[in-house]
């Protein structure tokens, strides 16, 4: 059974963006086909919550081979997308720390399939943001249904 949503997905105003791909690129170092996060809807440093999104496109590098005739967004890329959202939040909150590297993932569950042409909404809550590392709980929703959850750990490099 999925965990409760970090917050109510229906409360997100998807018509407003805090950060688009270009804004994200000013903070996160990911480029080209490995820039997975398409936008940030909001971040709240008082509650340590955030929301972003990923548009899954038909022209992406993995579509042809994962799975031919029935492409499914790879779980590894869902984890990476969530990690990029956590990274963006942490590096915005602690800009002088430098680069936040991926250090681990725990309690991952995939609860549905994502196919090209769909928009995935990501939710996050930082549970630890310290000098040595940060930890964020993440969830992803498609059409209001939770399709992913996982805890992302990053370490400052």
Q: What is the CATH number of the domain that holds 106?
A: 3.10.129.10
**Cβ-contact 134, 126 below 8 angstroms:** yes
Kindly report the pTM of this predicted structure.
0.96
Residue 47's domain spans which residues? 9-156
Of 146, 143, 141, 154, nearest in space to 51 by CA: 141
Residues of the chain with pLDDT under 70: none
The number of domains in the chain is: 1
pLDDT at 78: 98
66, 97, 111, 119: which one is catalytic? 66
In a domain, 1, yes or no: no
The yes-or-no answer on residue 66 being catalytic is yes
In a domain, 82, yes or no: yes
| Contacts within 8 Å (CB) and 24+ apart, 11-14 | 12/41, 12/42, 12/51, 12/121, 13/41, 13/42, 14/41, 14/53, 14/121
């Amino acid at each position: 059974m999925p965990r409760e949503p970090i917050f109510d997905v229906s409360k997100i105003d998807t018509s407003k963006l805090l950060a688009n791909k270009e804004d994200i690129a000013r903070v996160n170092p990911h480029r080209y086909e490995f820039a997975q996060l398409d936008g940030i809807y909001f971040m709240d440093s008082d509650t340590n919550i955030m929301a972003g999104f990923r548009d899954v496109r038909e022209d992406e590098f993995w579509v042809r081979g994962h799975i031919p005739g029935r492409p499914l967004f790879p779980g590894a890329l869902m984890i990476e997308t969530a990690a990029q959202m956590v990274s963006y939040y942490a590096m915005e909150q602690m800009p002088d720390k430098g680069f936040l590297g991926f250090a681990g993932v725990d309690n991952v569950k995939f609860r549905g399939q994502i196919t090209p042409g769909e928009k995935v909404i990501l939710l996050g809550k930082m549970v630890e943001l310290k000098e040595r590392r940060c930890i964020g709980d993440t969830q992803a929703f498609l059409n209001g249904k939770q399709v992913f959850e996982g805890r992302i750990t990053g370490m400052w490099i």
